[in-house]
Structure 1
């Protein structure tokens, strides 16, 4: 199968979780014998020193400067077996319309931000997707599962909505023999709707436990945040250093955006990566998390500062080991690549059946 992907970024992991998601998924997809071309819009904030993948050996990575320049890739898109457009692609509505007009194979939208996307659609914010474009994609691959999939088909006219959760590459994310530096860590770009939870479940814990050490890694945090003295700040942590970061943490925190809590069934890539490293996870609460990791056995759910303090006072090693076993058994990039292959094949089969029925009619 030849797959063309137009995504937010493959070359830069700076300030986005898309790059690591695409890297894991597409490298595993290539290992299954397929060919991948990734087309990325060239933007200054993902260029220069922020570009941490230059020439992948498992796919072609090419850049285009603007929407008009996509015409240079018309032949590749038209000749592909499948074409996938990702969420948050610049001019995503226009890109989607162009793909649907040019592609002769299966077309798919991969939404790594589904609850955010639906919230944007509800307020008529069509930054990268509009309701009118959704039915034109043969397949809607969603970061979010559960009832959201039915809604995408029922309310937005998607011919087929399927869950394609994020995943982890176990070769890159595994326990490392490094000294434990922090009792609790957090890895994530700043988000105003996540910050109250981060404050309650980490910063306030640090204030309550001055003898313990904590870390928050990620860019774009406002300068006026009052960081406790025992919280180490790391501005940016490239993916190559994630496993060491998690392995140096006795536990790590998972914080979910408000739209994703409301939708449920929205595990983040950080959840899988931390679990693959065997690091015990303390998480906020949302519907569907039990379908990914079993609370109390593979993950700790916390609502209050005191919940986290109590968790840190306990032995979490068994929870970290159980989470690692669960993720390696069901949530690796190889699992997702097999799912993607199956979804694309099923969609192509449905498309051919419809074309035959139309011809016979």
Structure 2
């Protein structure tokens, strides 16, 4: 089937944490015979910070961040068998959502793919006239980056016909163990863009741990931290392209994951960083969130922290030998249960089943 996918960016991870998620899921759908066309705006300097060239498994259409250009690519949804509007494109989101779903042919599946479902639901819940909430009953599927049973129940309460989480996963061709790089050797590395709904948690888990361990070294990667005051033992390195992720994750004693506020509150939302770090064999320390054990077993495959004090205590107790054992156990768990091959098979089965059911309802 021809899948028209309207998202933030496939080519760039710059201010775009969903990039590797899109790549993993869509590449696997392409392997399963689907034709992928990805539409992304030229916005937020992402095209100046590309991580990859347009891949052979997808046609990528980059359009100017202008209304006329957005309307032009919306029209191309009329040629699709599956029309997907992702959350968080960043420009003309409502226009794209309403336009793409209206332009898609009658036979096409209409899908909203939410990469931050807890935040989306918090926004649309009090707004009956929100464009997404109004359109929910007309959509065939809502797919989400995570959220588990709470997100499914809330989306269906608001009118979605069906909501299905498609969790992050590991692409072992992209994220895998590599030799340590001296540029990234430290006791704890953390990669995250500075966002309003994450900053307080970064302070509580990462900066507090650094302050408690002045004799240890910490590295912070990601956009937006330049003017943030930090302990002297924290080194800021700015944006880190995906090509450097393996070395960043494989070089320190441990790697930290900190969820955004909404995802931590709802749970069942492992970030891409969890899979990327564990895929590189890193010993992962994550903030506590409900459902973590569905993906990694605490104390065996991941270390779970309630606050910065817990993070500091984990680091004090961690030896290189135990860190290596935890990282390898996590990598093996993900390889056996949580790869994009599995996620792609799940989405492929889902859309083929929904396609057939829709044809039965409207055989003409």
Q: Could you tell me the TM-score, scaled by structure 1's length?
A: 0.91
SS at match of 2:45: helix
Describe the SS at the equivalent of 1:132.
helix
Q: Distance in 1 between matches of 2:6 and 2:74?
A: 13
What residue in structure 2 maps to residue 203 of structure 1?
A: 207
User: Equivalent residue for 1:354?
Assistant: 361
Instruction: Say which of 141, 150, 157 aligns to 2:159.
Output: 157
Partner of 1:119 in structure 2?
122
Find the aligned partners of 2:269 and 2:307 in 1 and give their Cα distance. Answer: 21
1:135 alignment partner in structure 2: 137
- Structure 1's unaligned 5+ residue stretches are none
Counterpart mapping for 1:1-361 below 5 A: 1-47=1-47, 49-65=48-64, 66-70=66-70, 72-73=72-73, 76-89=76-89, 90-104=91-105, 105-124=108-127, 130-144=132-146, 145-153=148-156, 155-179=157-181, 181-221=185-225, 223=227, 225-312=228-315, 313-314=317-318, 315-356=322-363
Q: The residue matched to 2:194 in structure 1 has which SS? A: coil
Shift of 1:149: 0.6
Contact 1:253 1:282 (8 Å CA) reproduced: yes
Report the number of matched residues: 353
Q: Deviations over 1:111-162 (max 9, x none)?
A: 01101111121354999x5210222221100112222112211x22111110
Alpha carbons 2:201, 2:260 under 8 Å: kept: no
Q: 1:329 to 1:230 in 2, by over 3 A?
A: same
| Cα 1:96/1:169, change in 2 over 3 Å | same
Q: CA deviation at 1:84?
A: 0.9
1:39 CA displacement: 0.9
CA deviations on 1:253-300 (whole Å, 9 max, x unpaired) are 110111112211111111111111110111111111111111122111
What is the distance in 2 between the residues matched to 1:88 and 1:235?
Answer: 22
Q: Residue by residue, what CA displacement relative to the aligned partner does 1:291-334 show, whole Å, maximum 9, x if unpaired? A: 11111221111113332222122223222111111111222221
Shift in Å, 1:91: 2.0
SS in 1 for 2:133: coil
Q: Aligned Cα RMSD in Å?
A: 2.1
Q: Answer yes or no: is the 8 Å Cα contact 2:226–2:236 preserved in 1.
A: no
Preserved CA contact (<8 Å) 1:3 1:80: yes
Is contact 2:70-2:92 (8 Å) kept? no
Deviations 1:1-23 (A, max 9, x none): 22110111112211111222111
